[in-house]
Chain A
Amino acid sequence: MVVSKDEAAQALAEIGQAEERASRLRGYRYGAPYVLLWGVLWMVANTAVAIDERIGGWVWWGGVAVVMIASAVIGSRQGPDFTRMSEMERSKYKRFGQKWALTGLLSWAAPCSVFAIFWPSSAMQYNASLLLIWMFVYMIGGIWVGWRLFWIGFAGAAAILGGYFLLRPHFILWSGLVGGGAMIAGGLWMRKA
């Protein structure tokens, strides 16, 4: 069998495309449950705040705890079979997991630190700014992971800004239904990829 330089270049290009596509789709499939979970929390908790602010606050805190535990469970179930991996691969994935855990921690520490200085003056400001930060995290992540995540963040950010300035009296409900709905739809979209 003889392979020319042109055929070799063509084959390497095909390999690169196939690997990139496989990694991107895997990322979507693995990320979808998290987007869905946070979308459901956003919808339920904000709707609860719109009905009763005090109860809604508790729904938020309880919901965050539930979603974080559920995320950890999903993460451990979705992980690869470590028993079939070489020692080098196991250590690579361990480092990968540690980096993700650190990313999650910093994603919460960043807005908490900002709020410690610029504490929002109302529940609406708190809600809008926290969710806006998250939507920009999605957009930034989407640039690297895949454009679907970017567009989910973009739609969410647009919904928050639009609702904040145009529908202020109903913002919390708007944020819950439209923002949460966009995330749920986005999660389903990612899962189908």
Chain B
Amino acid sequence: MDGPDEVIHQSTRLKITATLNALPSGEMMEFGRLKAILGATDGNMATHLGALEKAAYIEVAKDYVGKKPRTRVALTREGRRAFERHVAYLKDLIEGG
């Protein structure tokens, strides 16, 4: 059995990855929307997204819609695999594996 993923297991990062994992692979979520869903602050979000980006679990895209800046995030393929491994680990742990 693999061990827990220390990057993902932290509560806010767990919620971020679970939320992004609910989207199809090609879809990104706007930063503001993700923040609202999780009820987190700007600073908190930036810290945890930074940690996930450093682990190459998420990609962050910045662009403009008209004159308004837009930041979007998505799980990378590696992030999705890491999340699935972590969920499998948690399930194994509960089932006594």
A interface residues with partner B (beta carbon < 8 Å) = 1, 3, 5, 8-9, 11-12, 14-15, 18-19, 21-23, 25-26, 80-86, 89, 93
Which residues of B sit under 8 angstroms from A8, Cβ to Cβ?
90-91, 93-94
Does A18 contact B24, Cβ atoms closer than 8 Å?
no
Report the stretch among B10-18, B49-57, B63-71 that lies at the interface.
B10-18
CA A21 to CA B21, docked complex, whole Å? 12
B4 contacts the other chain (CB 8 A): yes
> Is A25 within 8 A of B37, CB to CB?
yes
Closest 7 CB pairs of A and B: A81-B26, A18-B18, A22-B22, A84-B26, A80-B26, A80-B24, A22-B19
Instruction: Assess whether B27 is in contact with A12, with CB atoms less than 8 Å apart.
Output: no
In the complex the two chains form, is A14's CB within 8 Å of B25's CB?
A: no
Residues of A within 8 Å of B24, CB to CB, are: 80, 85, 89, 93
- How far apart are the CA atoms of A5 and B92 in the complex, in Å? 10
Given the known interface contacts A15-B14, A15-B87, A25-B37, the answer about A9 and B19 at a Cβ–Cβ threshold of 8 Å is no
Question: How far in angstroms is the closest Cβ of chain A from B16?
Answer: 8
Number of interface residues of B (CB under 8 A): 25
Closest Cβ of chain B to A91, distance in Å, is: 12
Question: Do residues A12 and B6 form an inter-chain contact, with CB atoms below 8 A?
Answer: no
Chain A hits for B93, CB < 8 A: 3, 5, 8
B90 touches A11 (CB 8 A): yes
Inter-subunit contact B23/A14 (CB<8 Å): no
Q: Within the assembled complex, what's the spacing in Å between the Cα atoms of A26 and B37?
A: 11
- If A1-B3, A14-B14 are given as contacts, then 6 extra A-B residue pairs at C-beta distance below 8 Å, sorted by A number, are A12-B91, A18-B18, A19-B22, A22-B22, A22-B37, A80-B25
Nearest Cβ on chain B to A76's Cβ, whole angstroms: 14
Q: Does B9 contact A (CB under 8 A)?
A: yes
The residues of B that contact A1 with a CB separation of less than 8 Å are 3-4, 6, 9
Given contacts A23-B22, A80-B26, A89-B25, contact A12 B87 (CB under 8 A): yes
Docked complex Cα distance between A11 and B38 (Å)? 15
Collect the chain B residues with CB atoms within 8 Å of residue A85's CB.
Answer: 24-26
Quick one: which of B3, B4, B11, B18 contacts A22, CB cutoff 8 A?
B18
Task: Kindly identify which residue among B4, B20, B37 contacts A3, using a CB–CB cutoff of 8 Å.
Answer: B4
Provide the bound-state CA to CA distance between A18 and B14, in Å: 9
